[in-house]
Amino acid sequence: MSRKSHAIADRMRLLDASGIRKVFDLAAKMTDPINLSIGQPDFDVPPAIKDAAIEAIRAGQNKYTQTEGTFKLRSLLEQRCRAEFGWTDGKAYLVTSGVSGALMLAMLTLVNPGDEVVFADPYFVMYAHLVNLSGGRPVPVNTYDDFRLDVQAFADAITDKTRLLIVNSPANPTGAVYGERDLRDLAEIAVKRDLLVISDEIYNLFCYDQPFVSMAAVYENTLLMRGFSKSYAMTGWRMGWCTGPRPILEKMTMLQQYSFVCAPSMAQAAGLEALDTDMSSYVAAYKKKRDMVDSVLGPAMGLVKPGGAFYAFVPAPGGDATRFVAKAIENNVLVIPGGVFSTRDTHFRLSYATSDEKLRKGLDILVGLAG
């Protein structure tokens, strides 16, 4: 007999356990697997950033900060955005508990029941779930097989119910990087329909073959989101930030007050140091890993060369990613089936955020399994 007091809200039926987390939990039970599944840098937080956090803790910076983040960090973020984008007006800035936190705040702030949110397929798994949680309808736009930004397909997907667009470049899970021309074309469509664009730029430093271009550089009505997790290996520190139209940021800040409260105080102090840390050598190392993956899986498995982030979205032999991933796991290699990130299950995601030695071993096993 079910108990009314234990009933779960209907909205939770729209969510399921992340396929990524399932593999993460599986990895914890395995002995020394070749883990090519989790999107987490294999380098550690640079020492100067660690020292800044430790110093802040010892100095007593262990209490709540302002909901929107410390004045020092927000001022530095504003300074950097003015330099990057040439902005002269005073925009609002919000420091969040990771970009994931920013996404949740944005969806709950912006999406009404029945609103449609358009984004590329394949996509970061959280997009569809957060849209569902907020009562909206996810509208994934097919970008197979080259994962380029198909602006016409986006235009065709927009209806009178469309509330906003999401752009993720460099992209998870494909590693696709969008060029300035594509972003400008998308901006033309967005401005005609008076649509907000959320630009998820958590991988902005990991751009290997062309200069990174932000949607915020070409379209004013952009809610820009960046973070510290991937760029500085601060995944467990839960630090992100966003900027955009002030009325939206004000409501997101209010919602943060009643949810996350604020980002961790000592992590905000370390964020000041992080923004002045040169990560170019780390990015160069990841470019070499990307090149290794491309040189092996391009010829052997038809991989479309990823331009950024630290993922490859690889065609699964036979077109059944779940079956191929099961074979890979049986051979001690952890990767993620593409159905986690897509309406299709024809590819698998490989993260090359691991040591060169393990990456080479894993690639050799995957090629061997492809037969």
**Using only C-alpha atoms, what is the Rg of the chain?**
21
Quote the mean pLDDT of the chain. 94
- Check residue 234 and give its pLDDT: 94
User: Would you state the torsion angle of the CA atoms of residues 104, 108, 112, 115, taken in this order, to the nearest 10 degrees?
Assistant: -10
Residue 299 sits in a domain of what CATH number?
A: 3.90.1150.10
Percentage of residues in the chain with pLDDT exceeding 90? 88
pLDDT, average across residues 227-248: 95
Give the DSSP letter of residue 228. S
- State the greatest distance between any 2 C-alpha atoms of the chain, in Å, as a whole number: 63
Do 264 and 362 belong together in one domain?
Answer: no
pTM higher than 0.85 for the full model? yes
CB atoms closer than 10 angstroms to residue 52: 22
- Check residue 115 and give its pLDDT: 97
Do 40 and 52 belong together in one domain?
Answer: no
Name the residue with tokens 């393990």.
358
Residues 200 and 70: their CA atoms lie apart, in Å, by 22
pLDDT digits (tens, 9 = 90+) for 295-348: 999 999 999 999 999 999 999 999 999 999 999 999 999 999 999 999 999 999
CB atoms closer than 10 angstroms to residue 230: 23
Where does the pLDDT of residue 32 fall: very low under 50, low under 70, confident under 90, or very high at 90 and above?
A: confident
- Check residue 169 and give its pLDDT: 98
Q: Is the Cβ–Cβ distance between 303 and 312 less than 8 Å?
A: yes
Name the 3-class secondary structure at 370: helix
Residue 2 has pLDDT above 70, yes or no: no
Percentage of residues in the chain with pLDDT exceeding 70? 96
Residues 242 and 101: their CA atoms lie apart, in Å, by 10
Token reading at 284 = 């160069």
Question: Of the candidates 242, 274, 306, which is a domain's last residue?
Answer: 274
HSE at residue 91, side-chain half, CA atoms within 13 A, is 26
CA proximity to 314, closest of 347, 343, 336: 347
Q: What is the number of structural domains in the chain? A: 2
Do 234 and 88 belong together in one domain?
Answer: yes
Do 299 and 316 belong together in one domain?
Answer: yes
Structural domain boundaries enclosing 101: 47-274
E strands in the chain: 34-35, 92-96, 116-121, 137-142, 162-168, 196-200, 222-227, 240-244, 311-315, 333-334, 336-337, 347-351
Do 354 and 297 belong together in one domain?
Answer: yes
Residue 216 has pLDDT above 60, yes or no: yes
Do 41 and 52 belong together in one domain?
Answer: no
Give the DSSP letter of residue 32. S
Question: Of the candidates 248, 274, 300, which is a domain's last residue?
Answer: 274
Do 38 and 122 belong together in one domain?
Answer: no
- CA torsion sign, 292 to 295 to 299 to 304? positive
Question: Which residues are paired to 164 by β-bridges?
Answer: 117, 196
Q: Is the Cβ–Cβ distance between 340 and 39 less than 8 Å?
A: no
Do 135 and 237 belong together in one domain?
Answer: yes
Of residues 98 and 12, more confidence is placed in 98
> Among 72-76, 250-254, 367-371, where is mean pLDDT lowest?
367-371
CB atoms closer than 10 angstroms to residue 343: 14
Question: Of the candidates 224, 240, 274, which is a domain's last residue?
Answer: 274
Do 33 and 147 belong together in one domain?
Answer: no
Residue 28 has pLDDT above 70, yes or no: no
Residues 328 and 333: their CA atoms lie apart, in Å, by 5
Do 314 and 253 belong together in one domain?
Answer: no
Residue 150 sits in a domain of what CATH number?
A: 3.40.640.10
